[in-house]
Amino acid sequence: MIRFSATRRWALKLGATAFAAALTLAAPLQPSSAASPQKPVKIGFSMALTGGLAGAGKAALIAMEIWRDDINKAGGLLGRPVEFVYYDDQTNPSTVPGIYTKLLTLDNVDLVVSGYATNMVAPAMPIVMSRKMVFMSLFGLAVNEKFHYPNYFQIMPAGPHPRSDWSAGFFDIGMAQTPKPATVALVGADAEFARNALDGARENANKAGLKIVYDKTYPAATADFTPIVRAIQAEAPDMVFIASYPPDSAGMVRAINEVGLKAKLLGGGMVGLQYASLLSKLGASLNGIVNYDFWVPEPTLKFEGVEEFLKKYQERAKGQGVDPLGYYLPPYAYAYLQLLGNAVNAVGSLDQQKLADYIRSHTHKTVVGDVTFAPNGEWSTPRALMVQFQGVDDSGLEQFTHAGKRVVLWPEQWKSGTLHYPYAQ
């Protein structure tokens, strides 16, 4: 078992501003000793262990450690033990370039993977690209649209056109109703993820022939969402697509219930409504919302190995202050390492180009199902689920461990129930 040492300061000065920030802010968490006489395969990454995304980042790290322990128990990679070298990016994108520079120039890691979320994935790209490394990405929305990097692979099932695929299910569900919705409101945070999601929603709305009656972002520091919801209500949209981060999502749900928003379909891109903490807090106020998700305990989503993984995760998560269920991010944090590790053993080498070629040309069995990549490194087929909260009460978290509370509506292949429509009733 690998133990991690306490913080020590880096002394080297490389000159770059971002790296200097990382020297000051990031807490290096490196192995204190190597128990095996074999040279380990070192996998480097940043992770949000403090700051706004720390809850998800810590949960992802637990999942990654489960994979590391599983693979080491099975003989490691290329017969060598796997060791992690990682640093806290503090949910601060400015620390990320420095962290990946250090991982690749001083720590000399063999493989790199991304930290969690779009804002942390994008700043690592130029560093990783300069070394021509394979880069497995953990929930970066449309990041590679800017870089066109052939060795980038995204584990989030957004699809080959991530901006528009992200919200395609929401609009498909709406336009299948009778009578068809005619108007839509688009609202989201002024942040990279939300802007990307809104760009896609705008494209889907136009394609569906919907009239956009409200289209605005709000500052990331917004705390009171009631004026925003009242402004949307004044436009009386049939559909409301929301792209928000966890604190905003909670604020929006509370404001929507307070105002009594009368939309027929509502939700779409609300990050946080997958987290155990918000599920418990928001309870019955979630009913009727249709929102994206990636895994829920519905009978149509019993992928091989996922339930075994979740048992391990839930045991390790006890007392760690993280999501106790682990349905949202942890299976994918396990899967992106599972996929990379399988590629290493299949290729029989750490040659980055051979690994990239293998990953690109094969279908991969993982705990989140079969994964095949499109040429841009996104999933070749979208599988961002649209689920609807149904029959939720205020009894707490346990109810969400059973089928029927987050019913899968889209894609059709994974559907587990029918839409309750319209939302306002």
Q: Residue 320, Cβ neighbours under 10 Å: how many? A: 12
Q: Quote the CA–CA distance of 384 and 164 in Å, as a whole number.
A: 11
pTM of the entire structure? 0.86
Cα-trace Rg, the chain: 21
| CA distances for 263 relative to 274, 287, 356, 399, angstroms | 22, 13, 45, 26
Q: What is the DSSP letter of 371?
A: E
pLDDT given at position 19: 43
Q: What's the distance, CA 14 to chain centroid?
A: 32
Look at residue 3 in the predicted model and tell me its pLDDT: 35
B/e letters for 332-358, b = 16+ CB within 10 Å, e = fewer, are bbbbbbbbbbbbbeebeeeebebbbbb
Are 140 and 156 spatial neighbours (Cβ–Cβ below 8 Å)? Answer: yes
List of the chain residues with pLDDT < 70: 1-37, 424-425
In this prediction, residue 13 carries a pLDDT of 34
Question: Residue for token digits 């269920």?
Answer: 325
Q: pLDDT at position 141, please?
A: 85
* CA pair distance 111, 91, nearest whole angstrom: 22
